[in-house]
Amino acid sequence: MARITNRAPGARAFWVRGDAAPRLLQPGESAELDLLDAEDPLVAAWAASGEIVVEAPPDASRRDLRRRRPAAGREA
């Protein structure tokens, strides 16, 4: 699983595990994708040229550590 952001001027297609057709990312769009081939040379070339950004997906188990304001009429 990877978080991919398309920074290219055009759309980019990615083969995703379990999908019958490639997933199209429009310019500026980000998505968490389970790529069919994580070592795809085309994805590596796009990343090396800066056309896409490949990152680890955000950790869902991390909670928001910012302090939340108490509801009206309640103490902190």
Which tens digit of pLDDT belongs to each residue from 8-48? Answer: 999 999 999 999 999 999 999 999 999 999 899 999 999 99
Q: Within 10 Å of residue 32's Cβ, how many Cβ atoms?
A: 12
Cβ density class 2-18: b for 16+ within 10 Å, e for less: bebebebeeebebeeee
* Residue 67 is assigned to a structural domain of this protein: no
Quote the CA–CA distance of 57 and 75 in Å, as a whole number. 36
Is pLDDT of 2 > 70?
yes
Query: What local confidence, expressed as pLDDT, does residue 74 receive?
Result: 60
Residue showing tokens 């990312």 = 25
Judge whether residue 62 has pLDDT over 90.
no
Q: Is 71 within the bounds of a domain?
A: no
74 in a domain, yes or no? no
Domain region containing 47:
2-55
Count of structural domains, the chain: 1
- Judge whether 25 lies within some domain: yes
In a domain? residue 19 = yes
Residue 49 is assigned to a structural domain of this protein: yes
